[in-house]
Amino acid sequence: MQEVDKKTEFRSFILLCVFLAPALSIAIVGGYGFIVWMSQILLGPPG
């Protein structure tokens, strides 16, 4: 029982570190860039 729990925990850790964290950071940075881009289209360039 303990071995299965450690295996599941390791797979969850790999899933978070290899797939979820990079995808989430790409989505956050891309979303922020999109918001800045659209605001500059609607409101004009800064300055």
Residue pLDDT, tens place only, 8-34: 999 999 999 999 999 999 999 999 999
pTM over 0.75: no
DSSP state of 45: S
Q: pLDDT-based confidence at 47, cuts 50/70/90? A: confident
Q: CB of 40 within 8 A of CB of 46?
A: yes
* Contact call for residues 43 and 35 (beta carbons, < 8 A): no
